[in-house]
Amino acid sequence: MSNLQDSVLFTPYRLGQVTLRNRTIRSAAFESMGKDFSPTQQLKDYHVSVARGGIGMTTLAYAAVCRSGLSFKSQLWLRPEIVPALRDITDAIHKEGAAASIQIGHCGNMTHYSTAGQIPIGASSGFNLYAYTPVRKMRRDEIMQVSKDFGKAVRTAHAAGFDCVEVHAGHGYLISQFLSPYTNHHRRDEYGGSLDNRMRFMRMCLEEVMNAAAATGTSVLVKHNMYDGFKGGIEIPESIEIAREIERWKVNGIVLSGGFVSKAPMAVMRGLIPIYTMSYYSPLWLRAFIRYCGPFMIRQFPFSECYFLEDAKKFREALQLPLIYVGGLVSREGIERALDSGFELVQMARALVNDPAFVNKLREGDAATRSECDHRNYCIARMYSVDMKCCKHCGDLPRKIREELAKLP
């Protein structure tokens, strides 16, 4: 690890057209702070607090590029009607000295009729057990339209004052559903079968995004799966080929992540998941299913700091463009380890859910500075039903939740 005097952590970094004041980004972890697909004062207050806390750039999460990509009413739908409210947020972020980014994507087979306004669409037809819904294979005209929607989303983001967009091509959402052989398994056309075919939709989206970015001066990141986290999904060798294709589009950086939220959600976030807590915050009809079937359906992945780092290094060796490390950063030592491994920037979320001022504390502290986040994942267990919030800031929790969290290591 570099000594603090030699560290690049608090040096500026030029990401495309925007200069970040340091090497930290609040990653696009779903806040669940929207209402009726629109931003709220709570969403603004949270990101402003992170900006005030010293972050280089903060990312609003999970904004759908069109109506058919929506999974939750607390999710953003990036459309002209919400530009003034988003501009209010970006102006406030900029006032605190941070840059503003927004993640754009489409949830594909993890949407619902009540939010998407139609039967969920995806790379292949089937049934999504985790979304409890049938799924219809996308037609060619729909593929074309959604790819164009990605470009429109960049222009809308620019109008709302965002410096950067992060294209979500991982975690089992729509672009990832086309890339992965696990979810793209019934197509016999130019969008299925070979890896080149499975990358076609991603290329169409990136073409629209990069054209819009060039016209607006918007920086572009892509979140990419290093692996899906289960047999039959994408593994690292194939993922490196996909990353090389992303690199060819001259994006400003790739965020290296992993896991499918509909198949291996804890491969993304790691650590134990409090099943009772998750069931408690779920709809009544779903609670018993989660409580009794959750332990068998949700594979556990142990948490360790920098849990993606060794795999991410393989991509660093294979690629030339800037790479952003994300995954289990909770200390100054871990952040320095990632930066020393050749990554230009680092992303984090749970440390900032626990304490929005974590970056300022890193600056003011020493090499021993560490987040108080203990990765018992209460925040994750509740984030799809209520807002993402650390258990340490929730006051008096129900007794059974307190007991469950106390039992987790």
Catalytic positions: 173
User: Do 255 and 223 meet the contact criterion of CB atoms below 8 Å apart?
Assistant: yes
Provide the phi-psi class of 54: left if phi over 0, else alpha when psi is between -120 and 50, else beta.
left
Helix, coil or strand: residue 111 = coil
Please give the Cα distance from 334 to 343 (Å, whole number).
12
Based on C-alpha coordinates, what's the Rg of the chain?
A: 20
- What DSSP state is assigned to residue 301? B
Give per-residue burial for 326-350: e unless 16+ CB within 10 Å, then b: bbbbbbbebbbbbbeeebbbbbbbb
* Contacts with 37 (C-beta within 8 Å, 6 or more apart), sequence order: 64, 70, 73, 75, 76, 77, 82, 115
Q: What is the per-residue DSSP string for 304-354?
A: -TTTTHHHHHHHHHH--S-EEEES---BHHHHHHHHHTT-SEEEESHHHHH
Residue among 271, 249, 65 at smallest CA distance from 155: 65
Please give the Cα distance from 61 to 126 (Å, whole number).
27
Residue whose structure tokens are 């790379």: 123
* Long-range contact set of residues 185-192: C-beta below 8 Å, sequence gap at least 24: 185/124, 186/124, 186/125, 186/126, 186/137, 187/123, 187/124, 187/137, 189/140, 191/123, 191/143, 192/123, 192/124
CB hemisphere CA count around 240 (13 angstroms): 12
Q: Would you state the structure tokens that stand for residue 324, as one six-digit string?
A: 């952003």
The one-letter amino acid code at 110 reads M
Residue among 389, 387, 360 at smallest CA distance from 52: 360
Residue among 394, 385, 121, 138 at smallest CA distance from 278: 385
